[in-house]
């Protein structure tokens, strides 16, 4: 009796580890969008640095990375679409505004027009803010169960 209880008991930590992994993975989803956002955040910092040094080439090179940021994989998109429901079209429209504003920023940088670059950068930041104010906290609550 004792000798065949042991292997079964030994499975308990394994099962616990598997469950922990599964629940943790769920709590961390969707993570690709967050990575995309973090990349957008650092691209914006590169742009700020470029503006400070009047390095319009750097700004012109970085703006398209913001405009054409990668998208999460299909499986994650499906979860986002399911969560957004009817709001998905607004979410997409706001993403489109960021895309458009980043293209404008790139154009201004190509023209090496400092004032125009700064105005375009401000507009771009407003498009980030618009989506964050509307969606971020609900999104984070829903997918991570946390406030931030």
Residues that bind ligand HEC (CB under 6 A): 33-34, 37-38, 40-41, 44, 66, 91, 94-95, 98, 124, 127-128, 131-132, 135-136, 139-140
Measured CA angle at 38 (ends 118, 119), to 5 deg:
10
CB of 11 to ligand HEC, least distance (A): 34
Q: Which residue, 95 or 113, has its beta carbon nearer to ligand HEC?
A: 95
> In the structure encoding, which two tokens stand for residue 29, read together?
């989803």
Q: Which residue, 34 or 116, has its beta carbon nearer to ligand HEC?
A: 34
Q: Of 52, 47, 21, nearest to 121 (Cα)? A: 47
Give the CB-side neighbour count of residue 48, counting CA atoms within 13 A.
Answer: 8
Q: Which residue, 98 or 104, has its beta carbon nearer to ligand HEC?
A: 98
CB of 61 to ligand HEC, least distance (A): 16
Q: Which residue, 56 or 94, has its beta carbon nearer to ligand HEC?
A: 94
Q: Where are the alpha helices (DSSP H) in 53-145?
A: 56-67, 74-84, 88-110, 114-131, 137-144
Contact 27, 77 (CB under 8 A): no
Contact 69, 39 (CB under 8 A): yes
CB of 141 to ligand HEC, least distance (A): 10
CB of 69 to ligand HEC, least distance (A): 8
């Amino acid at each position: 009796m004792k000798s065949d209880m042991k292997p079964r008991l030994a499975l308990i930590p394994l099962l616990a580890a598997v469950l922990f992994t599964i629940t943790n993975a769920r709590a961390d989803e969707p993570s690709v969008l967050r990575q995309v956002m973090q990349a957008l955040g650092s691209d914006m910092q590169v742009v700020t640095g470029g503006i400070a040094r009047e390095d319009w080439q750097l700004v012109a090179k970085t703006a398209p990375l913001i405009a054409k940021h990668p998208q999460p994989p299909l499986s994650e998109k499906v979860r986002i679409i399911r969560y957004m429901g009817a709001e998905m079209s607004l979410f997409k429209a706001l993403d489109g505004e960021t895309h458009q504003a980043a293209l404008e920023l790139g154009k201004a940088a190509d023209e090496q027009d400092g004032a125009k670059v700064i105005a375009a950068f401000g507009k771009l930041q407003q498009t980030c803010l618009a989506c964050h104010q509307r969606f971020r906290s609900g999104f984070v609550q829903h997918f991570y169960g946390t406030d931030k």
